């Protein structure tokens, strides 16, 4: 698990509001993962998989 501290220099924060139902779905997906990622980590994984899929489609 990564320790807390200063974020990587090549990153930027993204703030987003989500409906409660979507947060509940994210939390359920987190619990299904072996390592129980944080919400932000799971969202990074999901978006990363989406971006990789788009790259493969091009």
Task: Give pLDDT, residue 37.
Answer: 97
Q: What is the rounded radius of gyration, in angstroms, for the C-alpha atoms of the chain?
A: 13
Task: Give pLDDT, residue 1.
Answer: 52
Q: Against a cut of 0.85, is the pTM above it?
A: no
Task: Give pLDDT, residue 22.
Answer: 97
Contacts of residue 23, Cβ cutoff 8 Å, sequence gap at least 6? 39
Residue 26 domain-assigned? Answer: yes
Residue 13 domain-assigned? Answer: no
Domain enclosing residue 33, as ranges:
20-57
Alpha helices in 1-58 (DSSP H): 20-32, 39-57
Residue 33 domain-assigned? Answer: yes
* Counted domains in the chain: 1
What pLDDT digit, counting tens, does each position of 1-58 carry? 556 777 778 999 999 999 999 999 999 999 999 999 999 999 999 999 999 999 888 7
48: region left, alpha or beta (phi > 0 left; psi from -120 to 50 alpha)? alpha
């Amino acid at each position: 698990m990564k320790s807390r501290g200063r974020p990587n220099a090549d990153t930027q924060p993204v703030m987003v509001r989500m409906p409660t139902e979507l947060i509940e779905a994210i939390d359920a997906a987190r619990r299904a993962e072996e390592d129980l990622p944080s919400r932000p980590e799971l969202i990074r994984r999901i978006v990363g998989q989406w971006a990789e899929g788009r790259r493969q489609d091009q």
